[in-house]
Structure 1
Amino acid sequence: MYYNLSLLFIYFFLYAIIGWMCEVVYCSIPEKKFINRGFLNGPYCPIYGVGALIIIMFLMPYVSDPILVFFIGIILTSTLEYVTSWGMEKLFHAKWWDYSDHKFNINGRVCLLNSFLFGLLCVVLMYVVHPIVYDLVNSFSSFWIQVIATVAAVFFLSDLVESTRETVSFNKKLSSVYEATTELKDNLKEKGITTAHEVTARVRDLKDGKLSEAKDSAHHLIVSLTNRINETKFINRYSHRRIMSAFPKMAHQDHQSSLELYKAYMEKNKSAKTEHDVK
C-alpha cells in the first residue's frame, strides 16, 4: 500500500516540477526576466501534478487515438483550471489569474487559447513525456521509491504550510494598507486627492522623485502613508514580492485598491534599493 502511494506521489511531484518549468519559460520569456510561477515557493506547481495524474488515468484507455486524447484532454484540464481558480478565490479572497482580456474565456478563469495549449500538452504527455518518466521511475527499486517519495513529501508539505502562512500574511498586509489609507482619507481629500487611483499615482510619483514638499501640499501625507505601510512587520518579505510577480493579474475581492497601492509601494522600495546599490 505504501509503495503504491509512494509511486503515485513521485509521479505527482515530477509532473508538478515539469509543469512549473513550462510555466516559468512561458511567462518569463515575454517579460524578459525570471518569474517564479505558482502558489508555492518551491519549483513546482501542484495543479500540473494533479492534472497529469488525472490525464494519465482517464486517457490511458484512449491512447490509441491521439485526436480523442487531445479533445478529452482539453475538457479535463480546463475543468481542473476552472475549479482550482474558483477554490483559491474562495479560500484566499483573491482571483489569482484572469483571462478576461482573452477571447472566448469563461468568467476569466479559463480561455480557449490556454485550453488549446493544454490539449497539445496532453498529447505530448501521453506519447512523449510519460513513457520516459515511467521508465525512469520504475528503474528504481521499491525501497528507493519509498525513500524518495517520503523525502519529497516532507519537503512539499513543509512548503505548502509555509506558503499558505505567507499568503495569509499577504492578505493581512493588504488589510493594514487599507486601514492606513482610511485613516488618512479625510486629510487626503482636503488636499484634493479623492480616489484610491490618485493615491497610488502619488506613491508612484514619489518613487520617481517627482514630488517635493514645496510643490505638492500632499507630500507629507503621502510620505506618512508609506511610513505607515512600512511599519508593518515583514514589509519587505520576498514572499509578498514573489506573489505579486507570479500573479500580476491578481484581483482581490476585498482590497483591490490596497493591492494596487501595495504594488506601487513595493516598486518604490525596489527602485530605491537599486539606486542605493548602484551608488
Structure 2
Amino acid sequence: MEYRIYLAIGTFFIYSVLGWIIEELFAAFRYGRFINRGFLNGPVCPVYGISMYVVLNVLSDFGMHPVWQIIGAVGIVTLIEYITGALMYKVTGRRLWDYRDMPYNLNGYICFTYSVMWGVMAVIAMWLFQPPIYIFLHLIPRGVFRALVWGVGIIFIMDFVVTMAASLKIKFKGGPVTEVANRVGDVRRNAGKQIFDMVQHRMYTSFPELKNQEPSEERGFGWVREKTFATGMCLEKLIWMFLVSGFVGDFVETVYMLTTTGRIMSRSSLLYIPFSLVWGMGGALITGVLYTLKERNNFYIFLGGFFFGGVFEYTCSALTELVFGTIFWDYSHIPFNLNGRINLLFCFVWGFLAIFWVKVLYPAVSRQIEKIPPVSGMVLTYIIMFVMILAVLISALALGRYVQRKRHPVRQEVIGEFLDKQYPDSMIEKVYPYMKIVK
C-alpha cells in the first residue's frame, strides 16, 4: 500500500511534465516564439497530472467500452479544468487560460472544443502511454524511486509555496526556498528554450522560406506559400498511404467477414485502433514499388501485385509465427495454397488490387493528401506515427504475454500481473478471433 502511494505520486509528476511539454510544443507552433507556459516555476503543469491520476483510477477498467471511457474522460477533465481555472482566478486574480473567445465556453474556463480534445487525449494516454510508464516505474529500484519521489516532491512544494506567495503578494526575504524556486525556474526556461529551438530548427529545415518571415501570434512562424505537402513520391506520402491502406484494409476485411459469416468480427492488428498492419505495409510497399509502372500496361502492374503481394503475405505470416508463435490466417483449406500462408486465388486478388490501387485509388488519395497544409501535414505525420508506434509496441507486449499464459504457467511478477489484468484473454481473443498458437 505504501509503495502504491509512491507510484501514484510518480505518475502525477510524469504526466505533469508531459503536459508542460505539450503546452510548450503547442505554444511554439502556435505563436512562433518561446513562451513560458504553466503557473509554477518548474517544468510542470499539475492540472495534467491531477486529471490523468483521476482518469486512470476511474476509467482504467478494461471491460468498459471505449466510447464510455471517452465520455467519462471528457467529463473528468472538464470538471477539473473548470475548478482549477476558477480557483486560481479567485486566489490570484489572473486567468491562466481564457476561452471566452471560443464557442460554447463557460465563463472562459472551459469550452466544448478543448474539453473534447483533452478528453480524447486523456483516453489515448491511458491506452498507449500508461502501460510503458507503468513498466518503466517498476523497472526502477524501489529505494532509488522513493528517493526520487521525495526529492522531486520537496522541490515541487517549495516551488508551489514561492509561486503562491508571489501571486498573493507575500514577500520572501531570500532563503533556501526562494533559491530553489529560482533554480527550478531556470531549469524550466532552459528546457522550454531547447524545445522551441528544436521546433524552430525543424520548421526552418522543412520550410526554408519561413526564415524570412517575422513570427506573430496570428500566423505563428508564418505562412508557407506555393508549396505542396508530400508532393510526388516521398516518405511523407508513403506514411500516409500506409495509414490509408491500413484503415481501408481493416474495413474491407470486416465487411468480408460480415458477408461470409454473418457476424461483425475484429480483423485489426492492434488492440485499440481498427488498423491492419499487413494491409498498411502492403499498400505502402506496393505504392513505392509499383509507382514507376503507373503509365505501363495493366498486365505489368498485375504481375507485380501478383508476385509481390504473395511474397509479402507469406513473409508476414512466417514472421508472426517466428516472433509470437502465432498464426493469424490459415489457407490450408483453400486449393493451391503454400503451407497455408498464401494461395493462388488471393495472389490473383493482390494482382487486381494492385491495378485498382495504382490506376484509380492512389491518384485520388494522393491528390487529397497534397491538399493538406504543409505545416499541419508535417506535424500530423509525426504525431500519428508516434501514436502508431506506441500502439504496435503495446499490442505486441499484450500478445506476447497472452501466448506465454497459454503455453505454460507464467511467473507472477509485477509487470506480468499488470499485463494480465490490463489485457486479459477475453480481450485478446476478441481482437484476434482467428489467431492460433503454434505448439
Category of TM-score, reference length = shorter chain: 0.5 to 0.7
**Matching of residues 66-85 of structure 1 within 5 Å:** 66-85=66-85
| Distance across 2 between alignment mates of 1:65 and 1:36 | 38
Deviation of 1:96 (Å): 2.6
- Residues 98 and 109 in structure 2, CA contact (< 8 A), matched pair in contact too: yes
| Distance across 1 between alignment mates of 2:170 and 2:101 | 26
Letter in 2 for 1:162: V
**In structure 2, what is the equivalent of residue 53 of structure 1?**
53
**In structure 1, what is the equivalent of residue 163 of structure 2?**
163
Deviation digits for residues 107-165 of structure 1, max 9, x if unmatched? 11101111111122122111111011001001112212211110110111111112112
**In structure 2, what is the equivalent of residue 94 of structure 1?**
94
**In structure 2, what is the equivalent of residue 6 of structure 1?**
6
Deviation of 1:167 (Å): 2.0
The two structures, once aligned, show a CA RMSD in angstroms of 2.5
Deviation digits for residues 31-50 of structure 1, max 9, x if unmatched? 11121211101110011111
| Closer, same or farther: CA 108–83 of 1 in aligned 2, 3 Å | same
| Closer, same or farther: CA 150–63 of 1 in aligned 2, 3 Å | farther
| Distance across 1 between alignment mates of 2:23 and 2:56 | 20
Deviation of 1:68 (Å): 1.4
Unaligned runs of 5+ in 1: 172-236, 243-279
Letter in 2 for 1:135: I
What is the aligned length? Answer: 176
- Which runs of at least 4 in structure 1 moved beyond 3 Å after TM superposition? none
Higher Cα radius of gyration: 2
Letter in 1 for 2:163: S
SS at match of 2:60: helix
Deviation digits for residues 8-63 of structure 1, max 9, x if unmatched? 11111111000111111112211111212111011100111111100000101256
TM-score calculated relative to the size of structure 2: 0.38
**In structure 2, what is the equivalent of residue 122 of structure 1?**
122
**In structure 1, what is the equivalent of residue 308 of structure 2?**
none
Deviation digits for residues 202-251 of structure 1, max 9, x if unmatched? xxxxxxxxxxxxxxxxxxxxxxxxxxxxxxxxxxx9x8xx9xxxxxxxxx
| Distance across 2 between alignment mates of 1:155 and 1:96 | 22
Unaligned runs of 5+ in 2: 172-181, 189-439
- Residues 63 and 126 in structure 1, CA contact (< 8 A), matched pair in contact too: no
| Distance across 1 between alignment mates of 2:94 and 2:149 | 32
**In structure 1, what is the equivalent of residue 30 of structure 2?**
30
SS at match of 1:94: coil
Deviation of 1:73 (Å): 0.6
- Residues 2 and 146 in structure 1, CA contact (< 8 A), matched pair in contact too: no
- Residues 12 and 53 in structure 1, CA contact (< 8 A), matched pair in contact too: yes
- Residues 62 and 68 in structure 1, CA contact (< 8 A), matched pair in contact too: no
Given the alignment of the two structures, is residue 111 of structure 1 paired with residue 107 of structure 2, yes or no? Answer: no
Letter in 1 for 2:129: V
| Closer, same or farther: CA 49–142 of 1 in aligned 2, 3 Å | same
Deviation of 1:2 (Å): 4.0
**In structure 1, what is the equivalent of residue 140 of structure 2?**
140
TM-score calculated relative to the size of structure 1: 0.58
Letter in 1 for 2:13: F
| Distance across 1 between alignment mates of 2:28 and 2:63 | 32
| Distance across 1 between alignment mates of 2:163 and 2:97 | 17
SS at match of 1:27: helix
| Distance across 2 between alignment mates of 1:81 and 1:170 | 26
| Distance across 1 between alignment mates of 2:28 and 2:41 | 16
| Distance across 2 between alignment mates of 1:63 and 1:91 | 41
- Residues 89 and 95 in structure 2, CA contact (< 8 A), matched pair in contact too: yes
| Distance across 1 between alignment mates of 2:7 and 2:110 | 31
